A and B are shown apart, each in its own frame.
Chain A
Amino acid sequence: MRIGTARSSYRHDEALFDSRTQYAWLAILGVALLGFPFVADEYWLYLACLVAINIASATGLNILTGYTGLVSLGQAAFMGIGAYTVAAFEQKFGTPVLLNLLAGGFVAMLGGLVVGLPSLRVKGLYLAISTIAASVVLHFVFANWHSVTGGHSGITVAPAEILGISFDTSFRLYWLFVPITIMMVIGAANLFRTRIGRAFIAIRDRDISAEVLGIPLLRYKLLSFGLSSFYAGVAGGMWAYFFRVVTPESFPLLMSIFFLAAIIVGGMGTILGAILGAIFMTMVPEALKLIVGWLPLSTDATLILSPVRTIVFGALIVGFLVFEPLGLQEIWRRIRRFFHLWPFRA
């Protein structure tokens, strides 16, 4: 049983991590993250990079959907803006990588602000559908603005290069992506200890009450859209450096649904939820690949892999919403609580 965590000051009460145990686990996690690239093979590093990108984007969507309560199906499109910005900067100006990523974030943020404009007028499902509209329009722009986006064939991106080191393998990209993602996650976690973050939560819980309490709705909703799409933009930028080719088909509506599914499965409105959800949803297809590979099948295994993946994807969304609406994060909390209370309560 965990004892001795009585909080004696406001500082302590507000802290992100409030006990020695948590710091110890964080240290272990840090060491694991540092050591991981040296023990993992290329395939696992590839997955790790993908997970890092997805965590960054899911965290962004979580700010908007989980904390502010504005459902968006445009996350992939904002990632697309970020990816195209990075690709165009890299190709046309050859500016430094970190600047490109920031630029990707900011341009996506501008896009997010525009898309967020209807959010004061419409909400709930209508807003979700208007973000679908935005992603259709953006897809059209990606496919037809030839001078910048290269049309349907897209843009090839040169490998990221910082201080003469070329980030061309998953091993190297890991050292670029993971720190960025960690910074973004910590930023999001801290956001909800500030006035802005609290305002977001107030808007989620009841937007009319929030307005009565003196929170300017339009400003904060737009801010939420902007922040969320900034995250998406940076994630999209990383995506561009990771896959090194950006096409209009890279960011389909399905990808937006994927991120929404990730935060639902993980647990909406919690930092941990977005992380767990992104990891889980990225790993499930890989796990399925393994399982389908093991099954003794008469037909070609790859033939049924894609449909099975689609079914499992849908079943996960439905299953979590029906049986565990608070997501993986709640399962995690139950496990933790069990150990906290052990051996007094089972």
Chain B
Amino acid sequence: MDFDWLFLVEIFLAGLGAGGLYALTALAFVLIYKATRVVNLAIGEMLMIGAYLCFGLATAMNLPMWLAIVVAVIASGMAGAVLERVAIRPMLGESPIAVFMVTVGLASILVGVVELVWTSEPRRLPEFMPNTPVMIGEAFVPPKVFYGFLVAAALIAVALTVFRFWRGGVALRATASDQQTAYSMGINVPRVFSLSWTVAAMIAAIAGVIVGAVGGISSTMGVFGLSVLVVVIVGGLDSVLGALVAGLFIGVVESLAGGYLGGEYKLLATFLILIVVLMVRPYGLFGTHEIERL
């Protein structure tokens, strides 16, 4: 039998590239979840806002691309803080479902804003990544995917280091593990909430710029968030490690399904995995198993 190994390897590598972006976005998601216990369905839309801000700054204001990215990321961070303060903070103590629905509403608002400002037509981000083809062994990897993966991996490493050693990161982890104790140790918990949304929005914006550079931007790119949702559920909502592993895993599975079965099988494959994981390990691969008591 004549099996095209090269094709498999190329698809696998492309999947890893996409998986890197999933892992990065999932990291932003987990950050919010750990600190504030909010399941943020608007993560895909935060990605989109980041990408569109960058697009707007680069085209309408003619900033150089690197500056546009930096400004867009900072602006997204501020937007994240504002969202948290205006829409999420008042919901403190409400049922998780209510907060979840608030983020659904936010997602809708963000999509509307983007369509209002930039219309719903798909756009292309200006080119900013090297264009020379990348070969790993004999396999060809699209350069954008390759550099996107590098950026994602680097950013994840930076984020993890920061949360390990920086004071704010320690405060965040303390809040995540026990809110009340964190409070009584003098940690300003509401500020940690703001911080987590700000940082998550910034990470999402960077992911958005990369996703936009690879596949173009449009007002429906929030669908990316659905796959990220699968990633975090599979990995376990409160597990950073889970987000990273599941991100790569889902990326590869999606790529294999798309490459061998056809594009419409991508979402189907990821969601079938989701169903299986929910049936077998409802709290995800690495998530904390919460025990319910009466």
Contacts and interface: CB of A to CB of B under 8 A. Distances in A.
Closest 9 CB pairs of A and B: A314-B108, A317-B105, A311-B112, A310-B112, A314-B109, A307-B115, A318-B105, A307-B116, A133-B271
A322 B113 contact: no
A321 B91 contact: yes
Contacts of A128: 97, 100
B226 interface: yes
A121 B279 contact: yes
A120 to B, nearest CB: 10
Nearest to A73: B104
Interface residues of A, number: 44
A308 B278 contact: no
Given A208-B294, A314-B104, A317-B108, 16 more contacts: A128-B97, A134-B275, A140-B265, A260-B101, A307-B111, A307-B112, A307-B113, A311-B112, A313-B112, A314-B109, A314-B110, A315-B105, A317-B105, A318-B87, A318-B106, A325-B94
A212 B292 CA distance: 14
Interface in B76-113: 87, 90-91, 94, 96-98, 100-102, 104-113
B216 interface: no
A316 B264 contact: no
B282 interface: yes
A144 interface: yes
A301 interface: no
Interface in A139-194: 140, 143-144
A339 interface: no
- Which of A122, A136, A310, A312 has the most chain B CB atoms inside 10 A of its CB? A310
A310 B115 contact: yes
Nearest to A306: B115
Given A315-B105, A316-B105, A317-B108, A322 B90 contact: yes
A209 B294 contact: yes
Which of B101, B120, B265 has the most CB atoms of chain A within a 10 A radius of its CB? Answer: B101
B96 to A, nearest CB: 6
A122 B233 CA distance: 12
Contacts of B113: 307, 311
Given A136-B271, A209-B294, A126 B116 contact: no
Contacts of A85: none
Interface of B: 39, 87, 90-91, 94, 96-98, 100-102, 104-116, 119-120, 226, 229-230, 233, 264-265, 267-268, 271-272, 274-275, 278-279, 282, 292, 294
A287 interface: no
B116 A118 contact: no
Contacts of A71: 97, 100
Contacts of B87: 318, 322
Contact of A308 (B107, B112, B226): B112
Nearest to A253: B226
Given A129-B274, A208-B294, A318 B94 contact: no
A75 interface: no
Given A125-B100, A137-B271, A212-B294, A321 B226 contact: no
Contacts of A264: 101
Nearest to B292: A208
A309 interface: yes
A168 B115 CA distance: 36
A151 B110 CA distance: 32
Contact of B107 (A122, A314, A325): A314
A307 B292 CA distance: 42
Contact of B229 (A122, A129, A143): A129
A126 B278 contact: yes
Contacts of A308: 112, 116
A130 interface: yes
A255 interface: no
A154 to B, nearest CB: 16
B101 A125 contact: no
A132 interface: yes
Interface in A243-277: 257, 260-261, 264
B271 A121 contact: no
Contacts of B274: 129-130, 133
Given A307-B112, A325-B98, A122 B104 contact: no
Nearest to A209: B294
Contacts of A27: none
A125 B115 contact: no
B196 to A, nearest CB: 18
B264 to A, nearest CB: 7
Nearest to A317: B105
Contact of A130 (B101, B102, B275, B292): B275
Contacts of B267: 136, 140
A325 B275 CA distance: 31
A124 interface: yes
Interface string A321-334: 11001000000000
